[in-house]
Structure 1
Amino acid sequence: MKTLLTRFGVLALVVAVVAAGCAAPTPVVQQVEVTRVVESTSIVHDVVTATPPPAAPEKPFRVAIVMPSSITDAAFSQSMFEGLKAVQQEMGGEGKMEIAYSEGMFKVPDAAAALRDYASQGYDLVIAHGSQYGTSLAQIAPDFPETSFAWGTSLDTFQAQGIGNVFAYQAEAQQGGYVLGAVAAIMSKSGVIGISGPVEAGDAKLWVDGFKAGALATKPDIQVNVSYTGSFSDVSLMAAAAETHIAAGADMLTGSSQSVVGAIGVAKDKKAFWFGTQWDQTALAPETVVASQVYDWTGIIKDMIASHNAGVLGGKSYTLTFKNAGLKIVYNDKIAVPADAKAAADAAIKGIEDGTIKP
């Protein structure tokens, strides 16, 4: 509060009339100084800024995956799960990306129930990681039009059926098969290669066909024996197939699917060499596994997430290739691979990338 002193003079006329006989009154003029105090209040307008409420925490992108085998199968399921974990870390951890999974879903009805349950819980992306799940997914996806689904290995997004929220992915496994088939042909001393497939479908068949083609292109006179067990999961059947190949003279073996642990065990016991696919299988038998074709799904996963966030819920198909770095060859340092075999592998990769080789 401020105080202002205002001074002003007031001329007061004081007339004193003194009756003194008959004399005329004599006016007396006095000047009186009056001080008036005026108080002035200064008004302060306080600006009150309201504190905004804290921003709602950003919701994580939620991914659920259903897999036919374990997340540590050293094959198909582990390759995808490790890809998801890598993307999660790149995005900033669990607070940015949530991963739920169901493993060991060899029974398709159980897998279908899990897929539907995850979609009902509001997951953004639900992955059916197995070609055996395709029919079920085509029935489930239309019931959840706001959810993105993905499945593989296949390139069918079901758009022909009027479904618009399904992604599809496939590993061009024949590429790595061709490359390592060439290596196996050069390393073989018996001149016989044994290949054990699970079911003639998806990337498993691509791998088998590519491996055979690469071996024959490198050594046209080599013998390549192929068999299929009819099961993705039966370890004992895969082991029996490996036994049969070795009995027929094979010293180089390969196979595909989660069941190959059985065949790798046989190769280890019989001192044969093994070539892996889908994931690095060296740890299963360091003295047996020569090299592996490894799937890197991270690029595909990131694009599906970005597409979903941009409002594209499906309708895109993806492939893993050498050219897009989705396929990689990993050698086992504990096994000496001949220089000419590695040179043949490098030449095959180059030819596949530039299109001069079409496995």
Structure 2
Amino acid sequence: QEEGVPWMGTQSDQSPLAPEIVVSTQLYDWDAILTDIIKKHQAGEMGGTAYSLTLANGGLKMLYNDNLPAEAVAAAQAAEATAAGGVMMEDEAMAEDEAAAEDEAMAEDEAMEEEAMSVDIEPVRVAVIMPSSTTDLAWSQSMYSSLERVQEAAGGPDVFELAFSEGMFNVTDAAAAIRDYAADGYDIVIVHGTQFGTSLAEIAPDFPDTTFAHGIATDPTLDAGLENVFVYDAHSVEGGYVNGVLAGALTQSGVIGFVGPVEAGDVTGYITGFQAGVADANPDAVVNISYTGSFGDTALAAEAANVHIEAGADVLSGSAQQVVGAIGVAKEKGVLWIGTQSDQSPLDPATAIAAQVYDWDQVLIDIITKHQAGQLGGDAYLLTLENGGLSMTFSDSLPAEAVAAAEAAVEAVKAGDVPVVTEN
């Protein structure tokens, strides 16, 4: 504007800033896309459609300054007509071919997944109460992702109705949600949090025809005489050991940090296995452990990560939804992160280089099948490496010898050759 040079913009109309120099704009219009997404959601379609704004569909629009020469506007409008009519430059055609290839690959993957898991059940209504977000990259996401996979394998929302309450950090609020779902007639209510056990013990007897599932829990819930409760747990000591072996193989400083929430649930098994794995792989390495006292406080987790790094740690691990904060610090400081519960590499693949991943699919299928056969509870489930409920992910960027050590640890765990696993 200061030099009087014409400006051509994109995304939004920028002429209000300087009408005399903003001579043209490509304008994005998302109205039709938003309308369609809302309609599909209300019709039961939760996703799966890709949208693209184009001149032909009206999602892209061109604006021209009234002061432009007529011949310049005419040339631009002719280019508009050509583009809208489907004439593309070579690089655009290549991009379209690449997109088509990606769509085809995705379709093949989806077909393979559908073939791999198909669930034959009667219509069922399932609700889940989670302490954190469905996208926490940790405890809650592990369960929600499994529920979505089972729902899809069963035939979608028409067969498998799914309701959820996330962010239930307050136990009183969670208890109200548990009771509301049961009173609303949901067939199965999943209580996904150790901290909700006392509430469940009070509520479950009031709804004898409702199946409840509680994790992390083991035999004590069953011993309380709750015949309509299934319990589930993850044998986190297994992946903890494998991750510890990997951490021991990767550390250069000989100092490894662990950021825990509270010393309870699957955290205790994980850190027990992790320490043993580090000791077996690198006896001289030190594992410094800290607990934030919170499952979800990312700021405290970030602070703990900083303390570990200042103490010399070049590899970190941790548990629960709080780890997002710790991973952010690890990325900033160039420190490796090894996770558990869910794959955290989407945050930063170069930082989050390995994980123990929980897969609840088969547990959910078995609970639903038993419920529909008339068994409302009474069984305990445990995810392990052997039964496929636990799996390990390793970044392709890792040294081959470190991955080999971790994979050997997986096989040793499966074979029952790791004392810390068999004793815990």
TM-score, normalised with respect to structure 1: 0.82
Residue 269 of structure 1 aligns with which residue?
A: 332
Distance 1:288 1:135 in 2: 38
Q: Which structure shows the higher helix fraction?
A: 2
1:74-85 alignment runs, 5 A limit: 74-85=137-148
The answer to which of 258-267 and 201-210 deviates more is 201-210
Whether 1:305 and 2:305 are equivalent positions in the alignment is no
Other-structure match for 1:291: 354
In the alignment, the residues of structure 2 paired with residue 284 and residue 134 of structure 1 have an alpha-carbon distance, to the nearest angstrom, of: 31
Residue deviations 1:42-101 (CA, integer Å, cap 9, x gap): xxxxxxxxxxxxxxxx97201000001111111111110010011111111111110000
**2:212 aligns with one of 134, 137, 149:** 149
Structure 1 Cα separation of the partners of residues 340 and 244 of structure 2: 12
For the Cα contact (< 8 Å) 1:197–1:205, is it kept in 2?
no
Counterparts of 1:285 and 1:143, CA distance in 2: 46
Secondary structure at the counterpart of residue 350 of structure 1 = helix
Query: Is this contact kept in 2: 1:157–1:316, CA < 8 A?
Result: no
1:170-207 deviation line (CA, Å, top 9, x unaligned): 01111111101111111111000000110111112211
2:234 matches 1:171: yes
Aligned to 2:406: 345
The one of 197, 209, 220 aligned to 2:283 = 220
State the alpha-carbon separation in 2 of the partners of residues 158 and 357 from structure 1.
Answer: 29
Unpaired segments ≥5 residues, structure 1:
1-57
Q: What letter is aligned with 1:356?
A: D
SS of the residue corresponding to residue 338 of structure 2 reads strand
2-side partners of 1:180 and 1:160: how far apart? 33
Instruction: Determine whether 1:240 maps to 2:303.
Output: yes
2:292 corresponding residue in structure 1: 229
Bigger strand fraction: 1
Q: Does 2:416 correspond to 1:355?
A: yes
1:1-359 to structure 2, matched below 5 A, reads: 60-156=123-219, 158-333=221-396, 336-358=397-419, 359=421
CA distance in 2, matches of 1:61, 1:133: 23
Q: Give the Cα separation in 2 of the matches to 1:276 and 1:240.
A: 18
Whole-angstrom CA distance in 2 between matches of 1:146 and 1:175:
36
3-state SS of paired residue (1:158) = helix
3-state secondary structure, aligned to 1:70:
coil
Once the 2 structures are TM-superposed, how far is the Cα of residue 160 of structure 1 from its aligned partner?
2.2
The question of whether the paired residues in 1 share the 8 Å contact of 2:129 and 2:165 is answered with yes
Q: Distance in 2 between matches of 1:159 and 1:327?
A: 24
Q: Give distance in 2, aligned partners of 1:318 and 1:93.
A: 25
Give the drift of 1:107.
0.5
Q: d(CA) in 2 for partners of 1:161 and 1:355?
A: 31
Task: State percent identity of aligned pairs.
Answer: 54
- Contact preservation (8 Å) 1:157, 1:166: no
Identify the structure with bigger relative contact order (alpha carbons < 8 Å, sequence gap 6+).
Answer: 1
CA distance in 2, matches of 1:60, 1:162: 28
Amino acid of the structure 1 residue aligned with 2:363 = I
How far apart are residue 157 of structure 1 and its match?
5.7
Instruction: Kindly name which structure, 1 or 2, has the bigger radius of gyration based on alpha carbons.
Output: 1
Q: Which amino acid aligns with 1:241?
A: A
Please list every run of 5 or more consecutive structure 2 residues that lacks an aligned counterpart in the other structure.
1-120
Q: State the secondary structure of the residue aligned to 1:325.
A: coil
Q: Is the 8 A contact 1:281 1:289 kept in 2?
A: yes
- How far does residue 158 in structure 1 lie from its aligned partner after superposition? 2.4
**Paired residues, what number?**
300
